Chains A and B, each alone.
Chain A
Amino acid sequence: MIVEALAFYMFAAVAVASGVLVVSVRNPVHSVLFLILAFFNAAGLFVLLGAEFLAMILVVVYVGAVAVLFLFVVMMLDIDFAALRSGFIRYLPIGAMVGLVLLFELALIVGAWITAPDAASAFGAPSPDAAKIANTHALGLVLYTKYAYLFQAAGMILLVAMVGAIVLTLRDREGVRRQNIGEQVARGKRNSVEVRKVRAGSGI
């Protein structure tokens, strides 16, 4: 039990600390690296909760794809983050006020929160006992049966995203050398090797 508590405090503290560092360090590359650290620690928290599928997804998708993409963007685009942050102090009072109003409103809602009396029995897919079945397995059981429709629809959305990215960005540029594998394979000795007599003492 004590190990679990220690692990929780470690993951939580590191996650919060690296979250603060993401927005406070000067070098944007460092802040992306801290973001990755925050993701890893959040994944650790999910493992402690017994949600190992979510933890792995977090690592694979957020660290593996999103954060690395950020890193590429940060390194390739020359963005002056100091200039972006220059108005921070000036707008702080307004931002803080909006934040406080939102917090107040949320407190009002949560204060008056009532859950429907029969909500527990109405859960669409009650989560199975974690001791009997791993949650990756449990997700797999409903994902391709009960939620097959949504799964397929999500696939269509990804297809549209792919088509859209190609439509909007792919263009034929002049003067770009393209690899033509067919041409490469079809090359024979005749059109790529030339035999020349080289006289002794002089180059080609």
Chain B
Amino acid sequence: MNIAEIPSLTAVIPEIVLALGSMGLLMLGVFGGDRSTGTVSWLAVALLAVVSWLVSSVTPMERLDAFSGMFRIDGFAGFMKQLALLGSALAVIMSMSFNDREGIARFEYPVLFLFATLGMMMMVSANDLIALYVGLELQSLSLYVVAAFRRDSIKSTEAGLKYFVLGALSSGLLLYGASLIYGFSGSTGFDDLAGALGGDGKAPPIGVVVGMVFVMAALAFKVSAAPFHMWTPDVYEGAPTPVTAFFAVAPKIAAVALLVRVMTGPFGPLLGEWQQVVVVISIASMLIGAFAAIWQTNIKRLMAYSSIGHIGYALVGLAAGGEVGVRGVLVYMAIYLFMNVGTFAVILSMRRRGQMVEGISDLAGLGQTDPRLAAALAIFMFSMAGIPPLAGFFGKLYVFMAAIDAGLVALAVIGVLSSVVSAFYYIRIVKVMYFDDPGPVFDRPLDPATSIILIGTGLFVLLFFVVPAPLIAGADAAAKSLFGG
């Protein structure tokens, strides 16, 4: 083989390290047995930290392609990969003591998280329809398994099965759409597609539009945007709580990144065709997130609807299109990560006499029985509702500003109104904690690692407005790199 044909591997070093590292940890677990679960978990966190450092050191200023253009790294990919890695690492840390107490601690758990993270990194960097599909499948397959990880519980098994069947359906939609697009343009590469679709300014052929809508439907399923959200509440409720925490952050971030890349890259020339679809999906998600959550009594189901709503707000930024819109999406997803991880750290501490409790009414009187935990949850709830000066307000501010800049005033108005509606159920939790009669006390204490995560995310959300510059500047550079060149 000619030396010039050997693909350049510099861009893929983080993924290679993660793949080899996770296989190494799998071996360690196989030979060490379930006693080595703790070691494997901490090593997995260390591996994610190393990969995060590698990502930051290989991410170029300009874009860099590998494997004949199938794999692309740029500032955007770097930013989203860091968020996904952070989300995964925090979820692994929060899982450890939970799994020990629930008796489901097995070494495959962190390894599957690593495989899912590898899939996410491949999704974020995908620059080809096949690479997109392969990354998505790697991530999804690992997620199906961890959703059913508590295999003796009917709910967890149901969650895994439901997620698997509906996920397979959405993969089918994706492949069907991708085959239509390939049939039109003769290429699966994003750059070739953008070239083939961009050319002459004529209306695109109907086959491509149909294919694109199929791909969008499949990706909307993966980010759980309405009207493809049906699986979310059941899966969130049934999966073990730390797995739900993971589902709510890292895969969403990766799928949103993928959606943004596909819509602005190969389908960028078709903005006029897909903008209306994204607007409709976004409005539907915001409304369902706002209204369906009102009647929930289980906090995990409430978080599921809340995450549907948050995806709706993030899609407002995508609908706006352009650099400002993408910057809004990036800022929103980063803040969303911290709010969600923090909230789930609180949910993980809801435990009485060794049993997890998940009802909202179980939080009654937390303000008196555990004032610090209640204060933390109140901060996250106010932030999710978008009350200034907490971080969640700024996330919403940036996407709505982008929408108004793009002339989508109606979309922004609907967003603000549904945000007011959703404030009702977020603040109801605060009311339950501070004004209802206290119930039995929760078991204490939280394990140290989770408390540190809780304090860290709480401080981030509370004090974001003091130094917002680093995150905003990072998101700005990332959004520029997506459109530059």
Q: List the interface of chain A (C-beta within 8 A of B).
A: 108-109, 112-116, 118-124, 145-150, 152-154, 156-157, 159-161, 163-164, 166-168
Partner of B115, one of A116, A148, A152, A160: A160
Contact A164 to B144, CB < 8 A, known contacts A118-B196, A149-B71: yes
Whether B130 pairs with A116 at a CB distance below 8 angstroms is no
B1, CB-defined interface residue at 8 Å = yes
Whether B187 pairs with A112 at a CB distance below 8 angstroms is no
Interface residues as binary, B22-37 with A (CB distance below 8 Å gives 1, 0 otherwise):
0100100000000000
Whether B205 pairs with A112 at a CB distance below 8 angstroms is yes
Whether B141 pairs with A123 at a CB distance below 8 angstroms is no
Contact A122 to B185, CB < 8 A, known contacts A114-B205, A163-B26, A167-B145: yes
Partner of A114, one of B12, B66, B137, B207: B207
Interface residues as binary, B139-150 with A (CB distance below 8 Å gives 1, 0 otherwise):
001101100110
Whether A115 pairs with B184 at a CB distance below 8 angstroms is yes
B358, CB-defined interface residue at 8 Å = no
> B104-112, B244-252, B416-424, B456-464: which one contacts chain A?
B104-112
Whether B185 pairs with A156 at a CB distance below 8 angstroms is no
Contact A164 to B145, CB < 8 A, known contacts A109-B210, A122-B196, A150-B134: yes
Query: Closest 8 CB pairs between A and B?
Result: A119-B186, A164-B145, A149-B67, A114-B205, A153-B134, A122-B186, A112-B206, A167-B108
Minimum CB–CB distance from B342 to chain A (whole Å) comes to 29
Residue of A108, A114, A153 most packed against chain B (CB within 10 A): A153
Minimum CB–CB distance from B481 to chain A (whole Å) comes to 21
Contact A160 to B67, CB < 8 A, known contacts A113-B207, A114-B205, A168-B151: no
Q: List the interface of chain B (C-beta within 8 A of A).
A: 1, 5, 7, 12, 19, 23, 26, 66-68, 70-71, 106, 108, 111-112, 115, 118, 122, 130-131, 134-135, 137-138, 141-142, 144-145, 148-149, 151, 160, 183-189, 192, 195-197, 205-207, 210
A163–B192 alpha-carbon span in the complex (Å): 36
Whether A168 pairs with B122 at a CB distance below 8 angstroms is no
Partner of B141, one of A122, A145, A164: A164
Extra 11 A-B pairs, beta carbons < 8 Å, given A113-B205, A153-B138, A157-B138: A108-B206, A116-B184, A120-B186, A121-B186, A145-B5, A150-B130, A161-B141, A163-B26, A164-B141, A168-B145, A168-B151
Minimum CB–CB distance from B352 to chain A (whole Å) comes to 29
Chain A residues with Cβ below 8 Å from B67 are 146, 148-149
